Structure 1
Amino acid sequence: MRAGRTEMTMAFDKNSTAAEVVAGHDLTGKEVIVTGGASGLGAETARVLALAGARVVVAGRDAGRGEAAVRRLREETGNRAVEFSELDLGSLASVRAFTERYAATGRSLHLLINNAGVMASPLTYTEDGFESQFGTNHLGHFALTAGLRPALAAAGGGARVVALSSRAHRRGDIDLDDPNYRHRPYDPWESYGQSKSANALFAVELTERWATDGITANALNPGAIMTDLQRHIATGELQDMGWADADGNRITPQGWKTVEQGAATTIWAAVAPELEGVGGHYLDDCAIATPWTADDQPPFGHYLARILDPERAERLWTLSEKLIG
């Protein structure tokens, strides 16, 4: 389902910053959750939403880091309605505890930003037995969003879920028979691509199933940004890819975005009037991206058409429900 307003109100591009995109928007009275909101893109996302007046819940695994981030955000934005709540997306028990705490507040939820993630990590499994990238990037967010559905529906229409995918979706399709690498060789980049493909398919099926509750979802590519996301990549591999110098110090390659630019498409997905009631899309550089059906690598502003395939989205949703019980 992709209904709703589509008229454009203001053009942004790859050079736009999150602060520029949110300018002019008053989010007073809006309730927001940002996963991974203590650092990197999540922290910038939380910052600009707080600047616009929203109540922001910073969700993350590390309470010390999260509380420090909240103090910093309150100081920088002057918004006291910023809080931390512990969330480990690699634990279904932690996800359930988070959603139960949020339900106990009695607050509705207008924006859920599924930002947190891991990239190219060694083969490990979550406490529930899921391969870590698929389990954290997709299944953890799937369970979180499902648990927050009543709060999203209580917003009274217009609630948005924003799923951070990646251009790296091209590196791996969904293996619906063995998503957790129990019977096939593991490749960290293929696994990351699988999880990012799952993020986009999730947005398609969520919009199809939940639009009657006034809830829509879009996936997006934030672009290439140097953050803590690269922490699992060995120094030699970083050097081979041009992401570190000869001494092993990380460098920002030419053409990469700043954190402020990297958070812009997330904010556009969250506040753009032209996306009101519009879901099931893949966004890039503050615009709806174009499908790419050729066999070669899609250019910027495009995505492989398989990640918005409705049939695969439905099958992944059914499998995800089964896996999380």
Structure 2
Amino acid sequence: MADRITSGFSPYTPARDVVAGHDLTGKVAIVTGAATGIGVETARALAEAGAEVVIAVRKPDLAEAAVAEVNKTAKGAKASWSMLDLSSFKSIRAFAERWGDKPLNILINNAGVMASPLTYTEDGLEMQVGTNHFGHFLLSVLLAPNLIAGAKQSGKSSRLVSLSSIGHRRAGFNFDDPHYKTRAYDKWESYGHAKTANALFAVGFNKRFRDQGVFANAVMPGGIMTPLQRHLPIEEQIALGWIDEHGKVRDGFKTTEEGASTSVWAAVGDELEGIGGLYLEDLAQAEPWTKEKPWAGVLPHALDPEAADRLWALSVEATGAGA
């Protein structure tokens, strides 16, 4: 990959160092799921650079605490929050209606569910793919006109950031039974196909909106201990090798601020101006996955343009938006 795009930062660079030197005054950003984990640090870094940041979450108490934390160091516009439940099409549409025609420069689809028991959204979708992909699909398509308006207003591209994961290696997208209606449920397979969907969505969204000044990339943030692990017992985390028997996190995991850095780079990096459809990790364009480095890289099925088009058509049918 001689033409591989890199940021010049090391993989463990804190998010605030990535955004340093960028003036985001007048820019507007939405970060989903930013009440905890790397979402808070993503919102904080953007706010410290002057952006108006809206935290889109479903728990008011956590949202209020996150906004207060971010606003301690925000420059210029203050952060705020708005109700968004990505497992509810009704909630997503209400969020977009409240947003109205306000221009938007950055949309970071950060929220996620991992390895949850088999449950369904109120719209009948399996919870992991329903929240991680279909919810974000509907939100992003509804806000696409706002992102286009943001690009026209600023004279620079608007950015959509879709958080994927190395978990995509576990499964390609299952078009035959995406919601486990006829096959046995496997929580890790489900997570893998949802994270593949997040990467394919960036490919599909970028194809459809790049000519209107909006570019989308997928991001693998790295291994980070956050509330994303809420469904995993300690014993399973030990078995996976994430922590030892004393609760110590294994080497290689990032802090939440380091975990937010690739999302922030995808949102502001000059190297990515006018570029989309990529899978980014460790503050660089990912290299192809290999057996020798199983915890890094991207597999072809996550960037397949034909699969991205097929997923887009399925998502339009499921959500009623984006035709």
Pairwise same-fold verdict (TM > 0.5): yes
Q: Which residue is equivalent to 1:251?
A: 248
Question: What secondary structure does 1:122 align onto?
Answer: coil
Match of 1:304 among 299, 315, 322: 299
Instruction: Kindly state the Cα deviation for residue 291 of structure 1 after the two structures are TM-superposed.
Output: 2.5
Shift of 1:68: 1.8
1:102 to 99, 103, 109: 99
Instruction: Write the distance in 2 (CA, Å) between the matches of 1:191 and 1:80.
Output: 39
* Distance in structure 2 (CA, Å) of the matches to 1:9 and 1:220: 13
1:87 is displaced (CA, Å) by 0.3
CA distance in 2, matches of 1:80, 1:217: 25
For the residues of structure 2 that align with 1:220 and 1:10, how far apart are their CA atoms? 14
Deviation at 1:277, TM superposition (A): 0.9
Deviation at 1:263, TM superposition (A): 0.6
What's 1:115 paired with? 110
Give the aligned partner of residue 29 of structure 1: 26
Once superposed, what is the RMSD of the aligned Cα atoms? 1.8
Are 2:89 and 2:123, in contact at CA under 8 Å, matched by a contact in 1? Answer: yes
Change (3 A) 1:53 1:242: same
1:246, distance to aligned residue in structure 2 (A): 4.0
Aligned length: 314
Helix, strand or coil at the partner of 1:44: helix
Deviation at 1:207, TM superposition (A): 0.8
Report what 1:231 is aligned to.
Answer: 230
The whole-number CA distance in structure 2 between the counterparts of 1:297 and 1:111 is 35
Aligned to 1:282: 279
Q: 1:154 aligns with which of 145, 149, 161?
A: 149
Choose the corresponding residue for 1:77, options 74, 77, 85: 74
The percentage of aligned residue pairs carrying the same residue is 52
Structure 1: runs of 5 or more not aligned: 1-5
Q: Which amino acid aligns with 1:189?
A: W
- Given candidates 135, 142, 158, the residue that maps to 1:140 is 135
- CA–CA separation in structure 2 for the residues paired with 1:127 and 1:297: 41
Matches within 5 A, 1:11-26: 11-26=8-23
1:239 positional shift: 2.4
> Does residue 1:51 correspond to 2:39, yes or no?
no
Match of 1:197 in 2: 196
User: Which residue matches 1:173?
Assistant: 172
TM-score (norm 1): 0.92
C-alpha spacing 1:181/1:9, structure 2 compared with 1 (3 Å): closer
Q: Any conservation in 1 of the 2:134–2:319 contact (CA below 8 Å)?
A: yes
- Asked whether the 8 Å contact 2:50–2:77 carries over to 1, the reply is no
CA contact (8 A) 2:159 2:216 kept: yes
Provide the C-alpha distance between the structure 2 equivalents of 1:125 and 1:35, rounded to a whole number of angstroms: 20
* 3-state secondary structure, aligned to 1:303: coil
Instruction: Give the structure 2 partner of residue 268 of structure 1.
Output: 265
Matched residues in 1 for 2:254 and 2:264: separation? 15
Separation in structure 1 between the aligned mates of residue 239 and residue 167 of structure 2, nearest angstrom: 17
